[in-house]
Structure 1
Amino acid sequence: MRPLEGLLVLDFSTLLPGPLASLILAEAGARVVKIERPGRGDEMRTYEPKVGDDSVNFLLLNRGKQSIALDLKAPDAISRLRPLIERADVLIEQFRPGVMNRLGLGYEAVRRMNSSLVYCSITGWGQNGPKADIAAHDLNYMAETGVLGLSVGADGAPVLPPVLAADVAGGTYPAVINILLALKQRDQSGRGTYLDIAMGENLFTFMYWGLGNGFAAGAWPHAGGELVTGGTPRYHIYRTADARYVAAAPLEDKFWENFCRLIDLPQEWRAASAPAGEVTKAVGAIIAAKSAAHWRALFAGQDVCCSIVATLEEAVNDPHFAARQVFAHRLLANGRDLPALPVPVVPAFRSATSHAPAPRLGETLDPLLSI
């Protein structure tokens, strides 16, 4: 039995943070019912590329869920939703602050229908504060919390991150963590609660080392000058002769000594007292003289904490991830069988049934029939 079997989740969210949160809950056994706009549905459905009528992004994020098409502004919307709300365990919404209140579905209104409901709101800046109503995307959250300012290229300009860290790490994961904590608390008190998840502020957790340096010593970090921002040759990315890259992280002395020996770094550059910038240049020149294949073979089986930077295609086909069955679960979509999105739920808590489709818009005509 999956740990969330029997739980009903109502998901009013769209795009990424909320749908990924409800996907994780669904993978652990919860029944998730998406409440979508008639005609268009979740905006993610329209993205490219598509597999059939819906985008592959939507299909990956909504595997194993159900869908109701309902105009939340319709006069009878609340009365139609009431039976679901009264029996739900979790509600997830991702509108701007105040929208659910205006629809008559704010926490206080819903709590009067179901006092044991865990109500989770995911927004960029939270429900209150000077930025609460400001529109933003992942890049903005990283820009305004100092994360982007520490991620720079060789020219000193910030680099566009390839991952949506605020959406996933600042939104989805804190939402799931707090939903589970709230459900545990409900087991003890019998009461539900309201969760205010703010994606922007949750990024500060990832800057713990910079916060510590700044708060304790007044030494606020800067790009290119810290342990993990390019300030040491022991945590750096080096270009190879064939325009690939070595991600080198031999931070501890034992790894650094092995690394220096394998690349035959001259002794004068190995000491901790050697100028970091000069050592980085020396290491870079050595790495640049040989191909990625050479360095991959040289570092294989050695304790050096060095990797060849992989493409996403190479990573997906890595034998290690195949052995771990990372892509063992499947997604049925328009007659196609695709790998499902990996989620951080251990196999023991997931269904043994590996195939599940995403819902068509409004396909669940009466979700109460089989609850």
Structure 2
Amino acid sequence: MKGPLSSLKILDFSTLLPGPFASLLLADMGAEVLRVESPGRLDLVRALPPHDGDTSASHAYLNRNKRSIGLDLKRPEAVELVKRLVLDYDIVLEQFRPGVMDRLGVGYAALKAVNPALIYVSITGYGQTGPYRERAGHDINYLALSGLASYTGRADSGPLPLGMQVADLAGGSLHGALGLLAAVIQRQHSGEGQQVDISMTDCAFALNGMAGAGYLACGVEPGLESQALNGGSFYDHYRTRDGRWFSVGSLEPAFMQAFCAALGRPELAQRGLSPDPAVQRTLKREIAIEIERRDFAECSALFAAIDACVEPVLPLSEAVEHPQLKARELVVEVPREGAPAQRQIGCPIRFSAGLPEPRHIGAALGAHTDEVLRELGYAAQEIEALRASGALG
């Protein structure tokens, strides 16, 4: 089976998380993705624990369904090879700081001269322009500068270091894939390629959503635990008697009434509508007392029986076995050479026509170099000459 993106051929220079997660989604949906990796500059995700045998589990997942070619872009022969590749792989995804690809001779202007229809997606921390364009950063920094961290956390302890990379994934990966596909659609109509500039900080700033709209239009500055959805109301997590947790999101009156009735405290429901912070603080204390009177199993049985937007906080070991996630087939078996299949998170996007089965886990660096060069028409002696020059990995 071919996926909906089977017509796309992408040359992926990215490493770590943002670019590789974007190209993972595209590869799962059928795009042909060829990773270009430096033999002398290891993608650090390859070394990231835990390892399944000799392979990083994260790398095996993020680079599923992609091929790998090893190229030393400091060698002119490798640069010429990239220029030959973009005649076929007419979408480039890269994640270097601004100017790095230009200095290597494979920037947008250089490759556009070879293929004017080229789409060139650049994912960076701060974008191609502005005073921070060359500044180093990580997910926690992008969330801090974007304003998101200022109202995500607890008033008595400050912003929280989140357990997943919001700016990397929701910013770089998802916006990067979206921008890439938008450029493809425009090229189908105009025949013209373009560069897509994705800043993870820009995208994180856009995620301010409702809080940002309220500040810009009305001057309402969100703070820690100051709003209904960031801990300023009963919408929160509550500890059970045995140290587990439940999420309570019973915002609508019908859900709140069902929730409070299940607790045996129907009189609390009316307080959920109050905008008074003092009332909300008191309500939270009452809910916390009621939840903590029960252990996790009792709460699970109690709330499973009602529709009130109350769900348990599950560790991954339980999440993967949850009947909803199992019904959605979000855990897949991915083939790997010489070993049993590896369990991985599946593609979360569903199509009525289906998607191709996963082909393989992330490949070894340069595993497909000779194969790709043969497809480009290189003879065996030409490949050996390139390898002898140091251009190949």
* Residues 29-63 of structure 1, C-alpha deviations (whole Å, 9 max, x = no match): 11111111115542221222223443111111111
Q: Deviations over 1:319-353 (max 9, x none)?
A: 21111111135242651311233233325466433
Q: Cα 1:352–1:106, aligned 2, differ >3 Å: closer, same or farther?
A: closer
Is 1:257 equivalent to 2:257 in the alignment?
yes
Match of 2:362 among 355, 358, 363: 358
Q: Which residue in the other structure is 2:133 paired with? A: 132
CA distance in 1, matches of 2:371, 2:332: 32
Q: Give the partner amino acid of 2:260.
A: C
Tell me, yes or no, if structure 1 residue 367 matches structure 2 residue 372: yes
Q: TM-score, normalised by structure 1?
A: 0.94
- Which one is further off, 23-32 or 123-132? 23-32
Q: How far apart, CA to CA, are the structure 2 residues paired with 1:238 and 1:50? A: 34
**What SS is found at the alignment partner of 1:367?**
helix
CA shift digits 1:123-147 (9 cap, x unpaired) = 0110111111111101111111121
2:29–2:356 Cα contact (<8 Å) kept: no
Q: Per the alignment, in what secondary structure is the counterpart of residue 122 of structure 2?
A: strand
Cα distance in 1 for residues equivalent to 2:304 and 2:49: 39
* Rounded Cα–Cα distance in structure 2 between residues aligned with 1:268 and 1:103: 65
CA contact (8 A) 1:265 1:283 kept: no
Give the deviation of 1:25 after TM superposition: 1.4
Partner of 2:285: 281
> Which amino acid in structure 1 is aligned with residue 58 of structure 2?
N
CA distance in 2 between partners of 1:333 and 1:39 (Å): 25
Superposition RMSD on alpha carbons, in Å? Answer: 1.9
Deviates more, 1:338-347 or 1:265-274: 265-274
- Residue 270 of structure 1 aligns to a residue whose secondary structure is helix
**Is it true that 1:228 corresponds to 2:232 in the alignment?**
no
- 2:160 match: 159
- Any conservation in 1 of the 2:256–2:269 contact (CA below 8 Å)? no
Q: CA deviation at 1:197?
A: 0.4
Q: Which sections of structure 2, spanning at least 5 residues, go unmatched?
A: 377-393
Contact (CA 8 Å) 1:51, 1:333: kept in 2 or not?
no
Q: Structure 1 residues 50 and 214, CA, compared in 2 at 3 Å: closer, same or farther?
A: same
> Would you say the 8 A contact 1:96–1:123 is kept in 2?
yes
In the TM superposition, residue 218 of structure 1 has moved relative to its aligned partner by 1.2
Distance 1:52 1:300 in 2: 39
Aligned-residue identity in percent: 36
Find out whether 1:316 has 2:332 as its counterpart: no
* Structure 1 residues 12 and 297: alpha-carbon distance in aligned structure 2, compared to 1, 3 A threshold: same
Q: Are residues 18 and 322 of structure 1, via their aligned partners in 2, closer, same or farther at CA, if it must alter by over 3 Å?
A: same
Cα distance in 1 for partners of 2:73, 2:146 equals 34
Query: Offset at 1:154?
Result: 6.4
Matches within 5 A, 1:288-367: 288-332=292-336, 335-348=339-352, 351-364=355-368, 365-367=370-372
C-alpha spacing 1:34/1:340, structure 2 compared with 1 (3 Å): same
Indicate the residue corresponding to 2:387 in structure 1: none
**Paired residues of 1:28 and 1:349 also in contact (CA < 8 A):** no
Q: When the two structures are aligned, how many residues end up with a matched partner?
A: 370
Tell me, in whole angstroms, the C-alpha distance in 2 between the residues paired with 1:246 and 1:193: 47
In structure 1, the gaps of 5 or more residues are none
Equivalent runs, 1:1-371 vs 2, <5 Å: 1-39=2-40, 41-153=42-154, 155-233=156-234, 235-265=235-265, 267=267, 270-271=270-271, 272-273=273-274, 275-332=279-336, 335-348=339-352, 351-364=355-368, 365-370=370-375
**Alignment partners' CA distance in 1, 2:357 and 2:243:** 43
TM-score norm. by structure 2 comes to 0.89
